[in-house]
A = this chain, B = another copy of it.
Amino acid sequence: MRVVDFIVKFLKQKKINDIFMLTGYGAMYLNDAVKLAGIKYYATRNEATAPSMASSYARLKNKVGVACVTAGPGATNALPGLAEAYVDSSPIVILSGQVDYKQTTHSTNSKQIRSFGTAEINIIPIVKPLTKYAEIIKNPKDVKYILEKAFYMATSGRRGPVWIDIPLNVQRAKIDEKKLRGYKIEKTKEKNSFLKIKNNLEKILYLFNKSQKPILILGHGVKQSNQIEAVKKIVNILKIPVIFTRFTNDLISHNKKFIYGISGIKATKFTKKIMNNSDLAISFGCRFSPQFVGHDFNALKKAKVISVDIEKDELAKKGQKIDYPMNHDLKDFIPYFLKFLKKKKLKKFDNWNSNCENFKKNNPIIISKFKKNKKNKLMDLYYFMDRLGKISSKNNILVTDAGSNYYVGGQVWNFENGQREVSSYTNAAMGLTIPLAIGAAVASPRANILAVTGDGSLELNIQELKTISHNKFNIKLFVINNGGYVSMHNWADAFFKGRRVDNPVDTGDGTLILKNVAKAFDMEHRLISSTNNLDKILKEIKRSKKPLFVEVLTDNKQIIYDAYKDY
């Protein structure tokens, strides 16, 4: 069998039935093997989006996502999506084609050669800082070892992307499957780890019992470690206010007791008050980003902070306030914690809980159809996003894109019906709604994807609109038409007395006519230009089985609610 046939057989054994790829000369045997194996392949129209599709797929299916690109520019085109997968810790495997090994720059050991074979680039050193593992297969016999190691690295510890580069001579090489060596996982010393956990559990209990105003912070690690159900039980035992990060906003309905949703700069005043007043924060799998705790890491100023996190270096960052760093994989830690708690009688915090409920009651996000004192009554984005959240349900996956809709979605959605959300969380990168929605549609063919983007963000990966229509994905793409780059305008007003620097749309006729865009990419266009019958229209759109491009006119002077009022 050819190396490529072994690779696709391996993928099928791992139950990878879908792959995102753009074909090319340097990956031609790989492409061929994927087809022969009957793995479903989704062609992207620029390699940049393939890793993001695979990331969305990986997160929603809780398994590895796979992308395949060709050599040289195929590989370098994929770097933007790879970077996103890295910062968002998505367990994806990228397979890249490569020229014959003897014509690779890699084989020369030179840092001065820029390209050797046809359209060749030495991709491994470039992707090293953006992956957990990156390797070129030099010897066909190493294919099993490298694949097994790659899958292990992607999914173990702190998850993340891996990259395998496969020269054409290796792709087509014949191998004897039985003679291949595999990868042996090194086992960690579990005994010490258990003792460390036990000590930390006692410490947490001690601090908890001393505390008056404890909170629980649930970060991305909770999802990544598959501990969602155990954590829900912990919430019901601790009975203290629970705060989410943007990654976990969809973890539990915000209508349930103790659940307050996200905190952070672009979050709510009441979660800020809860954080500010807390005297003890127990955090699971959260990296305390400035978006979450403020640019001065000041949100938890009165609290002792316990942070349980898989990444030691995250616990040691300068400037952030972590009093009790606890370096554990939540996969190990949470089950012990749950067992430990079940045996204890815990302190109650009725006063603190009712205080927090009052914070919420008295500091609501104001949702109205129109902004007050405005002549031209354009729909407020808060109103639209709120209604979209309300009409959605278990069968829906929500997607948001950089800019105002990302912030507002985070602020108004309560996930009360078991909806899920996918977004570019760490970076809030522009233009990822379309590829993330496509990954979601492939991961969940029965789901109805309600994806939101802005007219600025839309353009960055606009070519993939045709991927939606071509594959008839059940995606409703809501394109917020607010005249473009509203977030940038708000910054300009705040920092430079309204002095605006050119972005694509600032010099007049820079925006696209969205109806024409929909037509160019063969999507059916709908327009929501007012608040009239909004729920009815949204429900109709939701019922449709076709992909739809829904243009939504909203206020072009939209103000995004800022819980911190500083930047």
Instruction: Please report which residues of chain A, range 310-349, place their CB below 8 angstroms from some CB of chain B when the two chains form the complex.
Output: 311-314, 316-319
Do B459 and A466 have beta carbons less than 8 Å apart?
yes
Q: Which residues of B contact A429 (CB under 8 A)?
A: 72-73, 77, 119
Closest to A510 in B: B470
What residues of B have a CB within 8 angstroms of the CB of A73 in the complex? 80, 83-84, 402, 424, 427, 429-430
- Interface-facing stretch out of A351-359, A365-373, A514-522: A514-522
Judge whether A226 is part of the interface by a CB distance below 8 angstroms: no
Give residues of chain A (114-136) contacting chain B, Cβ–Cβ below 8 Å: 114-119, 121-122, 125-126, 128-130
Instruction: Give A458 Cβ to nearest chain B Cβ, in Å.
Output: 9
- Asked whether, in the complex, the Cβ of B35 is within 8 Å of the Cβ of A502, the reply is yes
Determine if A45 and B460 form an interchain contact, defined as CB atoms under 8 angstroms apart: yes
**Which B residues are in CB contact (< 8 Å) with A80?**
48, 73, 76-77, 79-80
The 0/1 profile, CB within 8 Å of B marked 1, for residues 553-564 of chain A is 000000000000
A65-93 interface (Cβ within 8 A of B):
72-73, 76-77, 79-80, 83-84, 86-87, 89
Closest partner residue, chain B, to A501 (CB atom): B31
Q: Which of A25, A102, A313 has the most chain B CB atoms inside 10 A of its CB?
A: A313
A113 at the A/B interface (Cβ < 8 Å)?
Answer: yes
Inter-chain contact B312/A112, CB cutoff 8 Å: yes
Residues of chain A from 497 to 516 with CB closer than 8 A to chain B in the complex: 499, 501-504, 506-507, 509-510, 512-513, 516
Give the CA-CA distance A158 to B112 in the complex, in Å. Answer: 10
Least CB separation from A503: chain B residue: B23
CA distance A117 to B317 in the complex (A): 11
Chain B residues near A35 (CB, 8 Å)? Answer: 499, 501-502
Q: Report whether B108 and A313 are in contact in the complex, using a CB–CB cutoff of 8 Å.
A: yes
Q: Using Cβ atoms and an 8 Å threshold, which residues of chain B touch A512?
A: 466, 520-522
Please, what's the 1-or-0 string for A475-492, where 1 marks a CB less than 8 Å from any CB in chain B?
000000000010110011
- Bound-state CA distance A108–B319 (Å) is 11
Residue from B118, B313, B316 in contact with A290 in the complex, judged by beta carbons closer than 8 Å: B118
Question: In the docked arrangement, what's the CA distance between A295 and B317, Å?
Answer: 50
Measured in the bound complex, the distance between the Cα atoms of B129 and A176 in whole Å is 36
- Which residues on the B side are within 8 Å of A276 (C-beta)? none
Instruction: Tell me whether A199 is interfacial, beta carbon within 8 Å.
Output: no
| Closest residue on chain B to residue A33 by CB atoms | B501
Q: CB-CB contacts of A125-163 with B at 8 A, as 1s and 0s?
A: 110111000000000000000000000000000101000
Q: Which residue of B lies closest to A517 (CB)?
A: B520
Q: Which residues of B contact A23 (CB under 8 A)?
A: 485, 488, 501-503
A206 sits at the interface (CB 8 A):
no
Q: Are B87 and A115 closer than 8 Å at their CB atoms?
A: yes
A128's nearest neighbour on chain B, judged by CB, is B125
Contact A516 B509 (CB under 8 A): no
Interface residues in A407-437 by Cβ distance below 8 A to B read 424, 426-431
Cα(A22)–Cα(B506), bound, Å: 12
**Which residues of B lie under 8 Å from residue A466 when comparing CB positions?**
459, 504, 510, 512
A111 to B86 alpha-carbon distance, docked (Å):
12
| Chain B residue, CB-CB nearest to A114 | B87
In the complex, A193 has a CB within 8 A of chain B? no
Q: Determine whether the beta carbon of A113 is less than 8 Å from that of B314.
A: yes
Contact with B along A514-544 (1 / 0, CB 8 A): 0011011110000000000000000000000
Bound complex: CA A463 to CA B460 (Å): 7
In the complex, chain B residues whose CB is within 8 Å of the CB of A128: 125
A202 interface hit (Cβ, 8 Å) = no
Q: Complex: how many Å from CA A466 to CA B458?
A: 13
CB <8 Å contact, B32 and A496: yes
How many Å from the CB of A304 to the closest CB on chain B? Answer: 23
Q: Is the CB of A45 within 8 A of B116?
A: no
Decide if A467 is an interface residue (CB 8 Å cutoff): yes
Collect the chain B residues with CB atoms within 8 Å of residue A87's CB. 72, 114-115, 121
Kindly state whether residue A207 has any CB partner on chain B within 8 Å.
no
A76 touches B72 (CB 8 A): no
Contact pick for A129, options B44, B125, B291, CB 8 Å: B125
Whether A28 touches B115, Cβ cut-off 8 Å, given contacts A34-B501, A76-B79, A513-B520, is no
The answer to whether A201 has its CB under 8 Å from any CB of chain B is: no
Apart from the given pairs A43-B510, A46-B431, A114-B426, 4 other A-B contacts in the complex at a CB distance below 8 Å? A23-B502, A43-B506, A73-B402, A76-B83
25 contacts between A and B (CB under 8 A): A32-B499, A41-B501, A43-B503, A44-B504, A46-B459, A46-B461, A48-B77, A48-B80, A72-B87, A72-B429, A73-B402, A73-B424, A76-B83, A77-B80, A80-B80, A83-B121, A110-B316, A113-B313, A118-B289, A118-B290, A118-B295, A459-B466, A470-B510, A512-B522, A520-B521
**A-B CB proximity, top 10 nearest:** A73-B429, A520-B520, A76-B83, A31-B501, A110-B313, A79-B79, A112-B313, A516-B520, A119-B427, A125-B129
Residues of A whose CB lies within 8 Å of any CB of B are 22-25, 28, 31-32, 34-35, 41, 43-46, 48, 72-73, 76-77, 79-80, 83-84, 86-87, 89, 100, 102-103, 107-108, 110-119, 121-122, 125-126, 128-130, 158, 160, 289-291, 295, 311-314, 316-319, 402, 424, 426-431, 459-463, 466-467, 470, 485, 487-488, 491-492, 495-496, 499, 501-504, 506-507, 509-510, 512-513, 516-517, 519-522
